[in-house]
Amino acid sequence: VLYQYRVDMAIVKVMGIETEYGITIRDGIGFDPIIGCSLLINSYQVLETGKVKWDYEEEDPTRDARESVPPRKLREQPGETTQFINRILTNGARYYVDHAHPEYSSPECTNPRDLVIYDKAGERILDLSRQKAEIIRGRGERIIVYKNNTDSKGNSYGCHENYLLDRKTPFPSIIRDLMPFLVTRQIYTGAGKVGAENGAEPVSYQISQRSDFVEKEVGLETMLQRPIINTRDEPHADAEKYRRLHVIVGDSNMSEYTTYLKVGTTALVLEMIEDNFIHQDFSLRSPVQAIREISHDPSLKRKLRLEDGRQATAIEIQRQYLELALGYLDRRDPDPLVKDVLAKWAYVLEKLEEEPRQLKQEIDWVIKRELIEAYMARHHLFWEDPRISLIDLQYHDVRPSKGLYYLLEEEEKVERIVSDDEIEEAMVNPPCDTRAYFRGRCLQKYAHNISAVNWDSMIFDLDHGPLKKVMMMEPTKGTETDVGRIIDSSPTAADLLEALQS
Ligand code: ATP
Ligand code: MG
Ligand code: MG
C-alpha cells in the first residue's frame, strides 16, 4: 500500500486521568502505607454511604482503622490487600490502592474541560477522605495527602493520561510523531521541582517532577525503567477497534490551566497522528537525554539535536506542532473548546519565549517558582535550604486551608478554567456523554444490585436468578441521551435490564 487515506473522521477522543497521591502522617506513630491508603478509601465510603463496610477479611472497622500495626495477613500479602480496596464511585471514577498510594482514576470524558473538572473532583475526594480518616483514627494525627510525583526519597508515583485511539493507527507512527511532542510539552505542563533525583545532574529548580525518572524511549513498564511511550495495551474497550494510549511521562498538575492545556494539546496532536496529517519529522537524537535536559533548563534556551542533524529548542519544536494544528483545523470548523486550547497554546508559547515569569498565574512550574522565590527573598534563604523543599511539597497539599496552590487560588492569583460548583457536582455525578454516565447512574440508583464494575462491564446480582453482565465495550455509548430516560423510568435493576434488552 503506497498511500492510506483516512476518509472517516478521527474518533471521539475519550480520555481519563489517573492520579496516584502521596500520603504521610504527622504527629503520630505512623502507619503502614497500604493501611493508610485503605483507610482513606474506606473513610470516603463511610462518608458516601453513611455505612461502615470494610473490605478487609474481618468486618471490624476498629481493627484496621485504629491499629498502626497491620494484621499479619495484610502485611504478608500486600498484593492481595491492594486488590481488596477498589471502589467505583457514583461519578464513574475508580478509587483504589495502587502499590501503597491512593489513586483516583477519573471517569471517561470527551473533552479537556470536563477532564479538568473530574480531576479536580478527585482532589476534593482525597481531602474529604483524609479528614474523615483523621476522625476515625481519633489520635490527633494529621494525615496529609499530596498531589505530586515524588517522595524525595527516590520514589516516583505517576499521573497517567489515557486517550482513546483508533486501532488502525500504526503504533510506529504514534511513536515517531508523539515522542518529540511528549518530550517538549513539559515546558508548559511541568509542575516544577526543587533539586534533582534518580542520579540526574544537580540543579536548583527544574521544570518537571517526573523527567528525572524517565529512563527509556519505549517500553511496557510503568514503575521501573519508565518509558516516554508506554506500550501497555489494555483498551478497556473493543480491542479490535480501539487502543487506549497510556501516557505516563506527565506530572500531576495543580493548576487547572496547566491540566487543560496538557490534555487539550495532547489530544489534538493524537488526532493529527490518527489522521496521518503529520509529515514532518521532529525525531530527537536522544529523547531520554532531551527530556531531562529540557527539565533542567528553566531558561528554555537549550538547543536539542534532532535525528536529521538540525537543532531546535523545546519552544521551537512545540511551535511546529502548534503550526501543524492550526493548519489541520483550518480545513474544518473546530469546536469552540478546541479553538480555545489552540489560543491558549499559542499564548503560552509566546510568553515562554519572551519571559516565562509572565505565566505565574497559568503554568504550575512558573507559579510555584514565583512563590518559592518570593519566600526566599523574604527570609534570605537559598535553594538548598530544607525549608524550600517543604514549600515545594506544600504547593501540592490537597487541604484547601493549607495547600499553597489553594491559597493562591483563594487569593485569585491563579487563572482558573472551571468553577467550584462544577467540581462539587462532579464529585457525585458522572459526565453525561460517555459510558461513565451509565456506570455512575447505576451506582447511584441500584448499588445493592451491582456486584462488580469494570471500565467496560458491570455485573448485576438481581434478587432472583443468575448474575447478569452488561458489556460496555463502546466508551461513547451509555450516555445520558442513550440511557438517561431508561434509567429514570426503571425503579429497579431488574426493570433496567429488561428495558435495556427490549
Ligand atoms: P494502572 O493503574 O495499573 O495504570 P490502568 O491504566 O488500567 O491501570 P485505571 O486506574 O483503571 O488504569 O484507570 C483507567 C483510566 O483510563 C481512567 O481514567 C479511565 O477513565 C480511562 N479509560 C478507560 N477506558 C478508556 C478508553 N478506552 N480510552 C481512554 N481512556 C479510558
Ligand atoms: Mg491506575
Ligand atoms: Mg494507568
Sketch the domain layout of the chain as residue ranges.
Answer: 15-146, 159-395, 432-501
329-361 pLDDT tens trace: 987 777 899 999 999 999 999 999 999 999 999
Does residue 20's CB lie within 6 angstroms of at least one atom of ligand 1?
no
Buried b / exposed e along 150-178 (16+ C-beta atoms within 10 A):
bbeeebbbbbbbbbbbbbebeeeebbbbb
pLDDT confidence bin for 141, thresholds 50/70/90: confident
pLDDT of the residue at 30: 65
Q: Which of 26, 56, 28 is nearest to 41 (CA)?
A: 56
- Ligand 1 atom closest to Cα of residue 237: 27
Greater pLDDT, 50 or 314: 314
259-317 pLDDT tens trace: 999 999 999 999 999 999 999 999 999 999 999 999 999 999 999 999 999 999 999 99
- Going by alpha carbons, the residue nearest to atom 24 of ligand 1 is 236
- Ligand 1 atom closest to Cα of residue 158: 4
The answer on pLDDT for 75 being more than 90 is no
Give 199 Cα–ligand 3 centroid separation in angstroms: 25
pLDDT confidence bin for 51, thresholds 50/70/90: low
% of the chain exceeding 70 in pLDDT? 90
Does residue 234's CB lie within 6 angstroms of at least one atom of ligand 1?
yes
Phi, psi (degrees; rounded to nearest 5) at 192: 80, 145
Three-state SS at 330: helix
For a mutational test of ligand 1's pocket, the pick from 222, 243, 455, i.e. the residue with the most ligand atoms closer than 8 A to its C-beta, is: 455
pLDDT of the residue at 123: 98
Lowest mean pLDDT among 10-14, 54-58, 175-179, 326-330: 54-58
Is residue 208 within 8 A of residue 165, CB to CB? The reply is: no
pLDDT confidence bin for 26, thresholds 50/70/90: confident
Question: Count of CB atoms within 10 A of residue 470's CB?
Answer: 17
202: which residues sit within 8 A by CB, 6+ positions away?
A: 195, 196
pLDDT confidence bin for 215, thresholds 50/70/90: very high
pLDDT confidence bin for 234, thresholds 50/70/90: very high
The answer on pLDDT for 225 being more than 80 is yes
Q: Which of 187, 179, 151 is nearest to 296 (CA)?
A: 187
- Ligand 1 atom closest to Cα of residue 107: 20
Distance in angstroms (rounded) separating the CA atoms of residues 115 and 161 = 10
The grid cell for 97 is: 490502592
Q: Which of 58, 55, 59 is nearest to 85 (CA)?
A: 55
Give 101 Cα–ligand 1 centroid separation in angstroms: 16
Give 104 Cα–ligand 2 centroid separation in angstroms: 8
- Going by alpha carbons, the residue nearest to atom 2 of ligand 1 is 98
363-382 pLDDT tens trace: 999 999 999 999 999 999 99
For a mutational test of ligand 1's pocket, the pick from 160, 230, 437, i.e. the residue with the most ligand atoms closer than 8 A to its C-beta, is: 160
pLDDT of the residue at 408: 98
The grid cell for 98 is: 495502587
Is residue 251 within 8 A of residue 149, CB to CB? The reply is: yes
Does residue 396's CB lie within 6 angstroms of at least one atom of ligand 1?
no
For a mutational test of ligand 1's pocket, the pick from 87, 163, 236, i.e. the residue with the most ligand atoms closer than 8 A to its C-beta, is: 236
The grid cell for 190 is: 511541568
pLDDT of the residue at 81: 40
- What ipTM was estimated for this complex? 0.99
- Closest ligand to C-alpha of residue 234 is 1
Give 149 Cα–ligand 2 centroid separation in angstroms: 14
62: which residues sit within 8 A by CB, 6+ positions away?
A: none
